[in-house]
Every structure is written in C-alpha cells, then in structure tokens.
Amino acid sequence: MTYREPVTTSQLRHHGDVDAEPGLLDFAVNVRGAGPPPWLRDRLVAALDRLGRYPSAADDLAARRAAAARHGRRPEEVLVLAGAAEGFALLPALRPRLAAVVHPGFTEPEVALRTAGIPVHRVLTDAADGHRLRPDAVPADADLVVLGNPTNPTSVLHPAAAVRALARPGRVLLVDEAFADAVPGEPESLAGDATTAGLVVLRSLTKTWALPGLRAGYALGAPSLLDRLAAGRPPWPVGVLGLEAVRACCEPAAVAEARRAAEALVADRDWLVTALAALPGVQLQLPAAGPFLLLRVSAGARVRAALRAAGIAVRRADTFPGLTEDHLRVAVRPPAQSAVLVAALAEALAPVAAEPAAPKEVVPNTAVPNTEAAKTAVRPDVGAGAGYGAGVGQETRS
C-alpha cells in the first residue's frame, strides 16, 4: 500500500480555472456556456451608463427585493455579495470557536476559516455509501457547519431534512447552493427557509448565467446573522453591474429560463453517464444531481496528462479532502462536446488498462501539524495557493 498526506490548506486553493488553460476544450470549469445570454448581456450593457456614480442604497434595495421575491423572503433577509465566494470570505466575522466543514466539498470556506486562525474539523463523507450526509458525524460543539448542496465535486444532492438536522441552538449552518438552480425545481433547496434557526444559504449567479468574471451572488438568512457577516465589509462592496445582475437573474422570466436549462442538463448528463459507464476502468459517483460528474480511474495523473495532450482539460480532484489523484471531475456539456471527451478518455485509459493493477492508495485519518514544515508536506506537483499556510484538523467519516 502507498500512503499520502491529507490535503493541506495550500492545496485547497486549487480551482478548475487553473486546469482550464486557454486553447483546451474545457471540462474543468462548471459554467454553462461561454458567456451570459444576449438578454442578460443587454441588461448589463445598459447598466454601464450608471458606472459614473456610486452604487446607491436604492440599487442595493432593488437587488435585495428581487432576490427576496424569487425565494419568498423579505428584503432584509438578503445580503448581496460580490460572488458567493465573498460569503465564504466573510465567515470569520462570525467568530466561531470550532467550524465543521463537510468534505469532499468546495474548499474556499475552509481556506477562509484557517487563514483567520479558526479551528476546522473535516467531516468526510464516504464513497461506500454514496457520500451520504450523516448529521451525527458533525461534532456537537461545532458552532459553524458548512456544506454544499448539491455538493461539489461529488454531485450529491442531500435531502433537505438531513441538512436541517444539522441545525442546533447557537450554531450557524451555512449551505452553499451554488448549483441548486441546476436541479430542476430545486427540490432540496433551503433558500426559502426562514424558520430554521442559524441557517444561511449562499446562492451564486456564476454557473447558470456564465458570469464568473462579474462576481455576483447573495446570502439568505436572518437579518441579525447577515449583519454579523457584513460587519467588516468595505463601502460599496458590490458594484452597479453586480447589483443589476442579481435583479435580472431573479426575475420570473430568468427563473423560468434557468429551470429549462436545468431540465436540458439532465438529458446531457444522462448521455454522458451512459457513455462513461461503458468505458472499462471508469467508476462513476452516482446518482449525480449537479452539472458535473466525479470519476475514478487508475493512474489518474497520467490520464489527466494524456487528456491535456489531447487538448482536453478536466478538474483534478485530489485537492478535495477525502479524494485521491485517481479522482477527476468533469463538467457536463452537450453530447457533441462530451463525445470528444469520452473518445479521448477511452484512448487515455487503454495503456493503463494493459498494466498490472497498482497498489491501493490509502488516505490516513491523521492530522498534519500546523507548522511551517507542514506547508511543504505536499506532492511536488502541487503549487497552487502557496503562502496560505497548512495544517488540517481532525478528520472523521460521516
């Protein structure tokens, strides 16, 4: 058997845009399309004439009203953000004593918390039971719990009841719903839940509306919680274009368009699942609910390199706690594009399949000390995010 260290904080800063170099067919980034639809682009272009003045309280209120109406909330229960990632950056303002982050999952919340010196407990879901969420695996004394739904990169959609079961008196429960609008009807979303104590839901416009360069999203929660999150923000944290994007994408016509896109995604994902399942040596994490799939192959680093040589970018997944270099995340694209990925993956796997099986890799349930030495205790090919520090807390499997 071979062993490797658990994922360290420096590795957590790796994201799919690093894998998706210009010129490659992009299956690494979970963004639908190459840019916003024409009607949204026109709205943003029209808003350019307002760039000569500061964003006003009226602008912010209009965006909050639109988001509130979209989710059946009150405007004071909405905090407009410069992308959902800003919501993660604000988490230290809550001053938690112990944060529990459910993994494999989006890594920026843990980065923000560790950078602020907040202890983080990793709760690892298990592939053996489909990465099912087990609320009893979260430490009882954690006063902040963070998870995604659907979860990136596993594409697992957790039942709303299981997520609500994480709520406790004195605890903030933050649910990242960046991909919730990619699920038809958003059946497990908690965005409209104004009664679960301590609940904060983050929503992103980046994925469905192809706006990663704009940075627009919002948080939903009790006004007192949102006030705590926003306490340290600078003046005018969201620009005119971000506020206009929130207004536009929360209008009924846009919500209906997003649902149609989610329904089309289901068909595209089903096609890709069928094609990948037919390839020898590919293990799929199923069922999948998001606009991406988690795969496991042998010799994952070699397979990624072969795909890159063939002009295809996929997301390395060993930078997600609980996964290995044999895990890959691939975005769901229309079949015409996905067919290129499937053909290249079949070719990349052929020489691997002809080799003897490699020793099984085991990720130990140990901690890396929070020391300067630990900052370099990663494989030499991992360089993203250097300087953010290292160290992981306890890890338990849920």
| CATH number of the domain to which 218 belongs | 3.40.640.10
Regarding whether 318 and 207 lie in a shared domain, the answer is: no
Query: Which of 222, 254, 286 is the last residue before a domain boundary?
Result: 254
Quick one: tokens of 75? 């405007």
Q: Which residue has the higher pLDDT, 348 or 378?
A: 348
- Please indicate, yes or no, if residue 123 is contained in any of the structural domains: yes
- Please indicate, yes or no, if residue 373 is contained in any of the structural domains: no
The CA–CA distances, whole Å, from 29 to 112, 126, 142 equal: 21, 24, 32
C-alpha 252/C-alpha 69 separation (Å) is: 9
Confidence bin at 383 (pLDDT 50/70/90): very low
Query: Which of 213, 231, 254 is the last residue before a domain boundary?
Result: 254
Judged against a pLDDT cut of 60, whether residue 393 lies above it is answered with no
Confidence bin at 357 (pLDDT 50/70/90): low
Closest to 196 measured CA to CA, from 379, 347, 73: 73
Q: Provide the pLDDT for residue 274.
A: 98
123-172, pLDDT tens digit by residue? 999 999 999 999 999 999 999 999 999 999 999 999 999 999 999 999 99
Which residues, at least 6 apart from 102, have a Cβ–Cβ distance to it below 8 Å?
123, 125, 133, 138, 145, 146, 147, 148, 151, 398
Domain that holds residue 194: 38-254
- Please indicate, yes or no, if residue 394 is contained in any of the structural domains: no
Average pLDDT value for residue range 89-98: 97
Regarding whether 115 and 241 lie in a shared domain, the answer is: yes
Judged against a pLDDT cut of 80, whether residue 375 lies above it is answered with no
C-alpha 308/C-alpha 304 separation (Å) is: 6
Q: Which residue has the higher pLDDT, 5 or 110?
A: 110
Average pLDDT value for residue range 217-223: 98
Confidence bin at 243 (pLDDT 50/70/90): very high
Q: Which residue has the higher pLDDT, 251 or 397?
A: 251
Regarding whether 229 and 155 lie in a shared domain, the answer is: yes
Which residues, at least 6 apart from 38, have a Cβ–Cβ distance to it below 8 Å?
none
- Please indicate, yes or no, if residue 378 is contained in any of the structural domains: no
Confidence bin at 120 (pLDDT 50/70/90): very high
With a pLDDT cut of 70, the percent of the chain lying above it is 83
Regarding whether 62 and 193 lie in a shared domain, the answer is: yes
Q: Provide the pLDDT for residue 374.
A: 32
163-199, pLDDT tens digit by residue? 999 999 999 999 999 999 999 999 999 999 999 999 9
- Please indicate, yes or no, if residue 182 is contained in any of the structural domains: yes
Judged against a pLDDT cut of 60, whether residue 369 lies above it is answered with no
Regarding whether 274 and 249 lie in a shared domain, the answer is: no
C-alpha 179/C-alpha 291 separation (Å) is: 8
Regarding whether 172 and 211 lie in a shared domain, the answer is: yes
Regarding whether 210 and 153 lie in a shared domain, the answer is: yes
- Please indicate, yes or no, if residue 370 is contained in any of the structural domains: no
- Please indicate, yes or no, if residue 382 is contained in any of the structural domains: no
- CATH number (domain holding residue 314): 3.90.1150.10
- Please indicate, yes or no, if residue 225 is contained in any of the structural domains: yes
Regarding whether 223 and 145 lie in a shared domain, the answer is: yes
Regarding whether 183 and 121 lie in a shared domain, the answer is: yes
Tally of structural domains, the chain:
2
* Contact of 264 with 280, CB cutoff 8 Å: no
Q: Provide the pLDDT for residue 23.
A: 76
Q: Which residue has the higher pLDDT, 12 or 296?
A: 296
Regarding whether 309 and 180 lie in a shared domain, the answer is: no
Residue 60, helix vs strand vs coil? helix
Q: Which residue has the higher pLDDT, 269 or 386?
A: 269
Regarding whether 261 and 249 lie in a shared domain, the answer is: no
Regarding whether 121 and 226 lie in a shared domain, the answer is: yes
